[in-house]
Structure 1
Amino acid sequence: MLMNHTNLTEDDLFSCYSPSVIGYRYFAVLCGCAVTVIGTVGNLMTILAFTINSQLRTRFNVLIVNLALADLLYCTILQWRSGQLWCKIFGLLLLLSNSVSIITLCLIAGSRYVMVAKRAVFDRVFSDLGLSLLIISAWTLGLASFGPLWHGYVFVPKLCVCTMTRTTYHPYSIILLLFYFFVGLGCVGTFYFLIYRHIRISSQALLRFSRRSSRKKPASSAQNTNDSGVESSVANTCSCEISSQAELAKNTVEINSEKSSQCTHSSATAESTTKTPLEIVITSSSRTPARINAASSSHCTASGDDKEMKHVTRMCLAVFLGFVFCFVPFLLINIADEHNRAPQVLYMIFRNLSWLNSCINPVLYAVMNRQFRQAYHVLHCQLFLCLSGSV
């Protein structure tokens, strides 16, 4: 009888049953299962795509993989609930994955800004060794932050999750909350604002220089320049002008071939490009055919790299906004509802919304990044062939 009573007490201890959420709890279970499956598969595919696709193995994508690892950890532990020991492990790993995600988002935004504004600093800080140290430091900082709360992780029925409560190490937990969610996410937003500002200033400077160059050219010279495709390249159009330039100046075939081949490079090329578009245009002031063709080709390369960098930056911004959209409602209700007066179903809805963050990133990569989309397609085909062969 004593054992049965003990077992019953243990079950009750980890139950989030409430008459107000009888209907919603079935949806919550389905949502949790879907997030676990989709998030696990999607993040594994992201890691495999990085492993097998050489074009994706860039320094920047190392941070994307680290974010996928944090999301994968979140997905795999999502359904843990019962047992005191498992509850503490779950609470620690849950907050660890969230903290590593925030730190990685900061590193992603910071790396994009440093790449745009201070290329030399990027090469030093985000080298292979530097990236390894940064990733290790992110996991170490997360573990060191939430490890001291080990004895404070308990099951909270209203949240239906194992985590720290308001009364657990209250000052320390508040400091962590402010540091990670407000300071951390605030830094990410600041970096993206600085990136936008820098790109806008560079684009405006390039446009002003192009207009001044057009006004200074005589009419006849402008006509000849237009026939050779130089004016089109200065106007930032990189279509089929290079071929006509090669016919005009055969002495520079090797230069044009080497430069024009860079127009098809991906984000990995963007990391190795050290000149801004404005610098390339300024250095192409010579009027000899060979130098004009080389400068035109270089400008074409810079324009293509700039577009690729903008695409990648937009993808990173979407990942950050997705994180904010998923976590901020749950964070705000925990702050605003100090006296626990909000209905439990509202807590559970916001909690389920926070789950989505661990599975939406692979979707964003597939939608907004051509290389990830192609890598996912290859993995799907290989998996289909393996399943067909086994059948």
Structure 2
Amino acid sequence: MATSSGSADDSVDEGVSKHTSKIMLSVILVTIIILTALGNLLVMVALCKDRKLRKKKTNFFVVSLAFADLLVALVVMPLAAIELTTGQWKYGETFCLIRTTLDVLLTSASILHLCCIALDRYYAICCQPLVYNNKMTPVRVSLMLVGCWVIPIFISFPIMQSWNTIGIESFIEQRKFNSSHNSTCVFMVNRPYALVCSTVAFYVPLVLMVLAYQRIYVTAMGHARRIGSLHRAGSAPSSTYPNHNQQGSSRIKNETKAAKTLAVIMGCFCLCWAPFFITNMVDPFINYSVPWQMWTAWLWLGYINSGLNPFLYAFLNRAFRRAFLMILCCGNEHYAPQEGFNPSRRQSESVNGTSISLRLINSKSMKGQKSIFKQTKKQGAQNKCVRL
């Protein structure tokens, strides 16, 4: 009797523990989904309301990225959360194909948008203004945006045709048999699809982003050294105009901060998606022995990247932060950008939000640094855009 009672108590405790764990998991997943949806919706609203944000070409990619991430939060993540918390798939084989197709399409689109943003920043920071304007024309920006959506369509189309399962039907049946419920949405890919999909959706964008940010960093440091030499050579005339030194330092700080901001975004992208795509390429070559728990963890880590992007913009980008505060504070004028006259702004020019030159208004100060500016101009003419 005592043994029977003890076994019953253990089973009850185990059942309560499982129920508690399921509730905690549900709360965590729902929180992730809500934060991802609200964050990306906030980015889209900010771009719609703030006219200055809409003037920057980069933000066309940002709003398209936010739309892709919003769809991930509203379509992909809820279905994945339901399957994870209930332990089964209740919507049939056809809807399973639709779900996995949308999953691959939207997450790939999100990754490609991050790549385009990195390339846009490369042209803005590492090239002269005219080069940037010639490279990032409205037509080219539109083509890049179309590519961010068309390429994922081609990547995800084979899933609807079940081309990704050719030759691995036995592994899929075994995975279904080993699951706790017969009804489960199994997504497995053969070797050709794993190699092509991972390369196009992750590894190529990753290489381009690394190269772009590496050149941005090198260019920012080069600018800092040149500005430092200008300050030292023109210290006497610059003392008459103290704002010159301040503007030079501000320029380098802005460029370095822009590079660091995007580097943080790329770092989060690598941290979130690298485990999944590495596993995606390795698993077909080790007879699909990666446990489903690891697959689920890596997949949700990738989903979290869609929720991180708007918060990275909010904390690391002043223009977005001001726009977010304007929205959340119901248009409080305290957070509105100042439109008054600012003399220091006339001493600098910007292209798409990135400072590209310092202009000394007084001709006397220009004479004191004429030779240095000529040398810098010649160097810029020889190398108008740092090659990737």
TM-score tier by shorter-chain length is: 0.5 to 0.7
Cα deviation 1:261-311 (Å, max 9, x = unaligned)? xxxxxxxxxxxxxxxxxxxxxxxxxxxxxxxxxxxxxxx3x6545543433
Indicate the RMSD between aligned Cα atoms, in angstroms.
3.0
Give the residue type in structure 2 aligned to 1:102: I
Show the counterpart of 2:264. Answer: 318
Distance of 1:202 and 1:225 partners within structure 2: 18
1:35 is aligned, of 32, 36, 49, to: 32
Equivalenced residues, count: 286
1:110 is aligned, of 96, 119, 134, to: 119
CA contact (8 A) 1:71 1:101 kept: yes
Distance of 1:125 and 1:107 partners within structure 2: 13
Tell me the CA shift for residue 55 of structure 1. Answer: 1.9
Distance of 2:48 and 2:136 partners within structure 1: 19
Distance of 1:161 and 1:373 partners within structure 2: 42
Distance of 2:93 and 2:119 partners within structure 1: 39
Show the counterpart of 1:367. Answer: 315
Give the residue type in structure 1 aligned to 2:93: Q
Q: For residue 189 of structure 2, give the secondary structure of its aligned residue in structure 1.
A: coil
Provide closer, same or farther for how the CA distance between residues 306 and 132 of structure 1 changes in structure 2, counting only shifts above 3 A: farther
2:216 is aligned, of 178, 195, 199, to: 195
Tell me the CA shift for residue 342 of structure 1. Answer: 4.3
CA contact (8 A) 1:103 1:184 kept: yes
Distance of 1:225 and 1:326 partners within structure 2: 47
Residue 99 (structure 1) aligned with residue 45 (structure 2) = no
Residue 65 (structure 1) aligned with residue 88 (structure 2) = no
CA contact (8 A) 1:31 1:352 kept: no
Q: For residue 382 of structure 1, give the secondary structure of its aligned residue in structure 2.
A: coil
Distance of 1:124 and 1:163 partners within structure 2: 47
Show the counterpart of 2:99. Answer: 90
Q: Give runs of aligned pairs for residues 16-35 of structure 1, distance below 5 A.
A: 26-35=23-32
Q: Give runs of aligned pairs for residues 256-335 of structure 1, distance below 5 A.
A: 300=247, 304-335=250-281
Show the counterpart of 2:143. Answer: 133
Q: For residue 356 of structure 1, give the secondary structure of its aligned residue in structure 2.
A: helix
Task: Give the unaligned 5+ runs of structure 2.
Answer: 1-17, 80-88, 166-171, 333-388
Q: Identity rate of aligned residues, in percent?
A: 24
CA contact (8 A) 1:109 1:192 kept: yes
CA contact (8 A) 2:40 2:307 kept: yes
Distance of 2:304 and 2:184 partners within structure 1: 15
Cα deviation 1:154-210 (Å, max 9, x = unaligned)? 89777x99574133xx31331121222112111101100011011111211222233
Provide closer, same or farther for how the CA distance between residues 303 and 133 of structure 1 changes in structure 2, counting only shifts above 3 A: farther
Tell me the CA shift for residue 352 of structure 1. Answer: 2.4
Distance of 2:253 and 2:186 partners within structure 1: 43
Tell me the CA shift for residue 26 of structure 1. Answer: 4.8
Show the counterpart of 2:325. Answer: 377
Q: TM-score, normalised by structure 2?
A: 0.66
Provide closer, same or farther for how the CA distance between residues 197 and 128 of structure 1 changes in structure 2, counting only shifts above 3 A: same
CA contact (8 A) 1:42 1:359 kept: yes
Show the counterpart of 2:193. Answer: 172
CA contact (8 A) 2:119 2:212 kept: yes
